[in-house]
Structure 1
Amino acid sequence: MTEQAKLKDLLEFPCQLSYKVMGYAKPELPELILAVIQRHAPGDYSPTVRPSGKGTYHAVSVTITATSIEQVDILYKELGEIDIVRMVL
């Protein structure tokens, strides 16, 4: 069974889904993340930003209302393609 099939079986759409994006501690990080999210899940979001212990990285969390597994997958992919992003959970 593929990972997408497993995730699809666990989720019932629409549902609340949180993305945690970790990247370099640059002021534009939240804006870049929100730009990608707005393209695929338009809405009014208030991301939370937490710095790492040394302040090198920021973790940005955003909760969306996901409408399909395809939307979930494209957001993971495009968020991971942002230059200053290191990981998407």
Structure 2
Amino acid sequence: MTNTKEAVVSFAIISKVREKLMSLNTKFDELLDFPCLLNFKVIGNTDPKLEDNIVAVAQKHVPGNYAPSSRKSSKGTYNSVSIKIKVQDKDQIEGLYVAFGAIPGVVRVL
């Protein structure tokens, strides 16, 4: 029974991600020359696993060696993690934005 619930939840998440990607309608393809190195900044609630989760998502979408940098907010409530990724096209950028945003505790992706 648990596997069925997990499958339903996974399907719902995939559907939301697909819907979100379809609605982005960005103009990255008009503004950037691909491939290019892009810096993503992910801001999330303070969590010791945040950086590892971000690297795991980056590895899943664009395998490579990543050396992210992290900073805590002045009050220690949030962490910001910057990671440079060599992207190949607009779809890859949009997919990364959505995937980073789906990490638990993430509040903003820049």
TM-score norm. by structure 1 comes to: 0.93
Structure 2 CA distance for aligned equivalents of residues 84 and 12 of structure 1: 32
1:81 equivalent in alignment to 2:102: yes
Count residues with an aligned counterpart.
87
Q: Which residue in the other structure is 1:67 paired with?
A: 88
| Residue 28 of structure 1: aligned partner | 49
Q: Quick one: percent identity of the two aligned structures?
A: 44
Shift of 1:3: 4.7
CA RMSD for the aligned pairs? 1.1
Higher Cα radius of gyration: 2
Choose between structure 1 and 2: higher strand proportion. Answer: 1
Separation (CA, whole Å) in 2 of partners of 1:8 and 1:68 = 7
SS class of match (1:21): strand
Specify every segment of 5 or more residues in structure 2 that has no aligned partner in the other structure, as ranges.
1-23
Which runs of 4 or more aligned residues in structure 1 lie more than 4 Å from their structure 2 counterparts after TM superposition? Answer: none
* Structure number with higher relative contact order (C-alpha < 8 Å, ≥ 6 residues apart): 1
Which amino acid in 2 is paired with 1:26?
A: D
Higher relative helix content: 2
SS in 1 for 2:40: strand
Q: Which runs of no fewer than 5 residues in structure 1 stay unpaired?
A: none
